[in-house]
Structure 1
């Protein structure tokens, strides 16, 4: 048996892209070359690695067993190349993911500080909702990710990271925002503008705010915080968002805060795959992130 790194790269790309065409584009290979490499790998292993469903390739049980090993093998091959050359030992690619609030408002500072301290420059950042980020981690498309919603996946390590403050928002035209402290009973029967299913922001509302309301209605589901802020400003409903996401709109008076009885705190989480091989670069970033704060001196607020 003689399995090659090329076959491992092809297998990993097909597993993540789910089509030969997309994998070929990603690897800058022809479709026949990808198909041949994949067929040869399956022949050498004497196992099919994918189920073919509606022109897409989905990992079967054998493929799922191979994927973490293939990912580790490719990571280690890059480390070997670095060890045996004059390259910086931190010269590999770091693939980071973040859900929308963290990805837009926190991770740019994390990566900026990491660059300042280490000199490492080769990073990618994917921003999507919590469910999508978890799926990418499970497919070994990301090294480490940061999300607002708790992810209950046995294959993912989920470490508490920082806390976030959530606020209830309304339009300046809405009398609920006139400044006094309100009870949740005062919000009964209100319309709300929510994020889409799979969002950590939506999950927080459903778990922590909605149970306090005797009755409420979903007026709109929107996929970005900016769209939600604009909808609230237009008096289409209330919203519950991170203060970080709403800071500018609050300062400019486009929306106002509805004062509710107790602070709304949300836990952020750092995630990585339990079977993901962590090379020196990934391990360094994990330690850096665990000790990071927005100004490097004070806790993140």
Structure 2
């Protein structure tokens, strides 16, 4: 019968931390252990598995094929072990750390409110937020860096579970001096002739916009792409460009007279904000707690401008 190697949680923790820092010495500092002890733990893990897990590139350690295969599985084991230890230690079930990925609009307008509510009711729960676009949030779930995602738009990956949170919509905006700013309605031909500055590919905002113009505008003049919404607003306010952004992101600029919301009856850009997590993840009371608080926040308290332009 083939001998099965029994690795330890300590060895997996050292491996994961080295993978994240690309350095044995930095990993040892983070784990409050000596560099020699960290090196020994990694060596024992590699020896027991019969495979090297890293390639050395200068002073950096980078994962090889086997290391990339092991990393998400090791993180899942460590995550599950943390839940077990908390349970047997008699701690409150709503305690510990929850790694949450949020896309920009959600992070800017809702995440702080959710964390504030959780701090009041569950002081032992620590939310570790990572702000990125939808594509990166889903990637963080798939490699076990995140336990919950809050994204704009839909995820079609079969490995991901999705739950609708609330509704939202996008609008096309122009600066006050833009030639289209005075039009009562803007047709597709005018949109196709305009110059655009947009969110980057991989963002939920760009995904919804691309879906709205698909089959309607064949060539769009995209001059710049940025992941920073204030930069897009500033460029549009200058008068030379159009952009498509969440209403929540531009509402103040429209009210202040910096931007004009264009009427675009040919584009339906309604969307939803969604919770996402790995399908193969175990039950997670911390995740469920955050979702519950977010849903409560949404009940009658999230402003939703009229969708009369789309009706």
TM-score, normalization by structure 1: 0.85
Trace 1:1-301 onto structure 2 (pairs within 5 A). Answer: 1-20=5-24, 23-24=27-28, 26-29=30-33, 31-50=35-54, 55-58=60-63, 60=65, 63-64=68-69, 67-68=72-73, 70-178=74-182, 180-209=184-213, 211-213=215-217, 215-261=219-265, 262-286=267-291, 288=292, 292-297=295-300, 301=304
Which segment drifts farther, 268-277 or 233-242?
Answer: 268-277
Structure 2 stretches lacking a partner, 5+ long: 305-311
After TM superposition, the structure 1 stretch with the greater mean CA deviation from structure 2, 205-214 or 231-240, is 205-214
Q: Tell me if the contact between 2:187 and 2:264 (Cα under 8 Å) persists in the aligned partners.
A: yes
CA distance in 1, matches of 2:115, 2:175: 35
Task: Report SS of the residue matched to 1:90.
Answer: coil
| Range moving further from structure 2, 207-216 or 166-175 | 207-216
Instruction: Indicate how the Cα distance of structure 1 residues 138 and 19 shifts in structure 2: closer, same or farther if over 3 A, else same.
Output: farther
- The residue matched to 1:235 in structure 2 has which SS? coil
Distance 1:194 1:97 in 2: 22
SS at match of 1:114: helix
Structure 2 CA distance for partners of 1:28 and 1:207, relative to 1, 3 Å? farther
Deviation at 1:98? 0.5
Distance 1:187 1:62, change over 3 A: closer
* DSSP-derived class of the 1:6 partner: helix
Output the TM-score relative to the length of structure 2. Answer: 0.82
What value does the CA root-mean-square deviation take over the aligned residues?
A: 2.9
